[in-house]
Chain A
Amino acid sequence: MIELNHLSKTFYVSDGTVEALRDITLHIEDGDIYGIIGMSGAGKSTLVRCINMLERPTSGQVIVDGKEMDTMSAAELREARRSITMIFQGFNLLMQRNCLQNVCFPMELAGLKKSEARQRAMELLELVGLPDKAKAYPAQLSGGQQQRVAIARALASNPKVLLCDEATSALDPNTTHAILSLIQEINQKLGITVVVITHQMSVVEDICNHVAILDGGIVVEEGPVSEVFSSPQSAAAKKLVFPSGVDETLLSQTEGRRIRLVFNGAQVTGAPIIAKMAVDIGVLANIIAASTRTIEAQAYGNMLLDVPTEDGQFERALAYLRAIPNVIAEEVED
């Protein structure tokens, strides 16, 4: 559905140039939920804006639904944009229009009849769970509700692709989860290809099938989420898959070396691995952080251990853990 070939974007600023994207090649399948993750400044927002040409790439090719975006005329591009809609971190609703009028907006732009637009807008508000807020203004809604209206608005033009630019970053964890579930539901019900831009691994784990990790304007890792999660290769990926809630200051205080442990929760939870390791080989590991996550309907455990280094304890621990089936253990460096 989306093909990016050797995409580069250079910004010219007063004191030189900034290479926001460097030679990016990605293929996003039809009907996929694809995550693009990276720290602030990694270039992920620029990347998603290149897909609908809000940002013109310096070089390279963007093909969406078989059509080459970067060579289109202004009118062709406007037409193409109707099938590639976008939701934003700041929702970006029209504040002087009520919810119904906001959802009608893209249909108004396309010249649809008012009565038809209203009817479809009501259906969409129902789909996102806000039929009773049709007459309310955005300022009267919570952030989660505003994003629901924005999703309804994005669906109004029957898009083939939905781009989500940090769509949940301004929301609390519960609301984030609800919005992500809605996006997943839309993907399954309507078959819309979804591209999710985020800096939170939890968002990717929650709904994405594939993920690309962006660091310094290049894709450092790409693949199915479960693979990247269980055996990350790049430094950026390793940092992102840390169990949630790891405190940076806590990390710098640990004395030993660190092991990250990933295990298939459904098969391994029966065994108390860390306690067993202490009994079997006498290595006392300190659990810095631990969590479980569900990725592609599979439960995964994720644990960060601090292991003492004296008398080869660290090596023994690593070998011991690696010998357990369904467990992936590897050292994590700073």
Chain B
Amino acid sequence: MFDGLFSSESLQEALRILQEEIPFAIWETFYVTVLSTAFAIVIGLPLGVLLVVGEKNGVRPLPAWLLKALNVIINLLRSIPFLILMIMVFPLSRLIIGTTVGTNASIVPLVVAAFPFIARLVEGSMREVNPNVVEAAQSMGATPFQIIWKVMIPESIPSLISNATVAITTILGYSAMSGIIGGGGLGKIAIDYGYYRYKYLIMVLAVILLILLVQVFQSIGTHLSIKSDKRLKK
């Protein structure tokens, strides 16, 4: 498989792609990942908060059937393999973007796959908030909305940032998979050149760049999470 990986011919071609296609691919990957994560957070954050505050002993209890339904939907979406999900949401992509292939269309399945995952991560962050502090806020006459907005979310910021980092790196991995449906970026280059045309050097190159991107996102996230945490004495 790796015969002639570094032949002068393949090196030359790699150099050409590196200059002509990779910069734009990196941008596309970055754009798809960040945008998908942002949309997924917009949907997933409120859902994750609801999962905790809506419990029987929560700050704002919801009807039991509603909470149950929420849990089932989230579990359902999380159990569908991403490759299948990409194809299943075609109608939705067509409705929102107008097409089912291409970079923008790949954002739709990414958001659908990521928001239930983010809801679960947010749920975890919310459960870490000291219940005694919530009780203290209640004893001061805070409304359920004030408790969510001024206590639960601000108190769990470091945990939320660290979980957002987990989410963005996972979505980055998924975005590479969306090369299959024509979603642009490093994943598409790896599949087009490496898988379809046996240019393994290009594939390896794309994978290395993906690894670097994950490293960058993770380092920034860890740094921000620690920096935001006022519990750590300075």
A residues adjacent to B (C-beta < 8 A): 52, 54, 77-82, 84-86, 88, 90, 92-98, 105-106, 108-110, 137-140, 157
Selected from B130, B135, B150, B158, the residue in CB contact (under 8 A) with A108 is B150
Q: Which residue of B lies closest to A83 (CB)?
A: B141
Chain B, range 96-139, C-beta contacts under 8 Å to A: 130, 132-133, 135-139
Total A-B Cβ pairs within 8 A: 76
13 A/B residue pairs, CB under 8 Å, sorted by A: A54-B135, A78-B142, A81-B140, A84-B139, A85-B139, A86-B139, A92-B132, A96-B155, A105-B150, A109-B146, A110-B141, A137-B230, A139-B230
Q: Which residue of B lies closest to A137 (CB)?
A: B230
A157 CA to B136 CA, complexed, in Å: 14
Distance to closest chain A CB from B29 (angstroms): 33
Q: Do the beta carbons of A95 and B139 come within 8 Å of each other?
A: no
Q: Which residues of A contact B135 (CB under 8 A)?
A: 54, 92
A236 CA to B155 CA, complexed, in Å: 41
Q: Which residues of B contact A96 (CB under 8 A)?
A: 154-155, 157-158, 228-231
Q: Which residues of B contact A140 (CB under 8 A)?
A: 233-234
Q: What bracket does the count of chain B residues touching chain A fall in?
A: 20 to 34
Task: Say yes or no: A54-B155 contact (C-beta < 8 A), given A92-B133, A95-B230, A139-B231.
Answer: no
Q: Do the beta carbons of B150 and A109 come within 8 Å of each other?
A: yes
Q: Which residue of B lies closest to A140 (CB)?
A: B233
A110 CA to B155 CA, complexed, in Å: 20
Q: Which residue of A lies closest to B139 (CB)?
A: A86
With A52-B139, A97-B154, A106-B140 known, 4 other A-B pairs at CB within 8 A are A78-B141, A96-B229, A96-B231, A109-B146
A106 CA to B146 CA, complexed, in Å: 11
A93 CA to B230 CA, complexed, in Å: 12
A94 CA to B152 CA, complexed, in Å: 10
Q: Do the beta carbons of A88 and B136 come within 8 Å of each other?
A: yes
Q: Do the beta carbons of B132 and A90 come within 8 Å of each other?
A: yes
Distance to closest chain B CB from A262 (angstroms): 38
Q: Do the beta carbons of A157 and B139 come within 8 Å of each other?
A: no
